Amino acid sequence: MEAVRETTDWDTPNHTYLLDGTTLIAYIKQGESEPFYFKKGIKNFDKRGRKFVPADASLFESHVESAVSNLIEVQGSKGAVYHVDPELHSCTCPGFTFRGKCKHTDILVDSLAV
């Protein structure tokens, strides 16, 4: 999970976001303190053309445990550990971030279907 605050200079207010890889889990509107959580998350949250800085993840702390409870840790082919959400078919690996799909989600979803 990654918390980021948008700093893009435009006419609308910027918000703080909670991301799981490229899936948007929740956000906090600028000037508010209560996060809004999406039921299934929004896949492929696009950061292109926008500016972000790291944010304090404790803003989402009361809800993070329930949001990550369905994540499964998998080990990549080069030893890195990634988190797969079988419900959302998302992964934190670079391949999923770039293409929107990866072998980790395919293998895990297939193995859970059996």
How far apart are the C-alpha atoms of 98 and 93, rounded to whole Å?
Answer: 9
Q: So what's the pLDDT on residue 7?
A: 95
- Tokens found for residue 42: 């929004």
What's the whole-model pTM score? 0.54
Q: Is 52 helix (H, G, I), strand (E, B) or coil?
A: strand
Q: How far apart are CA 104 and CA 84, in angstroms?
A: 7
* Contact between 96 and 83 (Cβ < 8 Å): no
Going by the DSSP 8-state scheme, the letter that residue 34 receives in this structure is S
Tokens of 46: 């696009």
- pLDDT string in tens for the chain (114-residue length): 889 999 999 888 899 999 988 899 899 999 998 898 887 788 889 888 999 999 988 888 755 444 545 778 888 888 888 888 877 778 888 888 777 778 888 777 666 655
pLDDT at 110: 64
Check residue 65 and give its pLDDT: 46
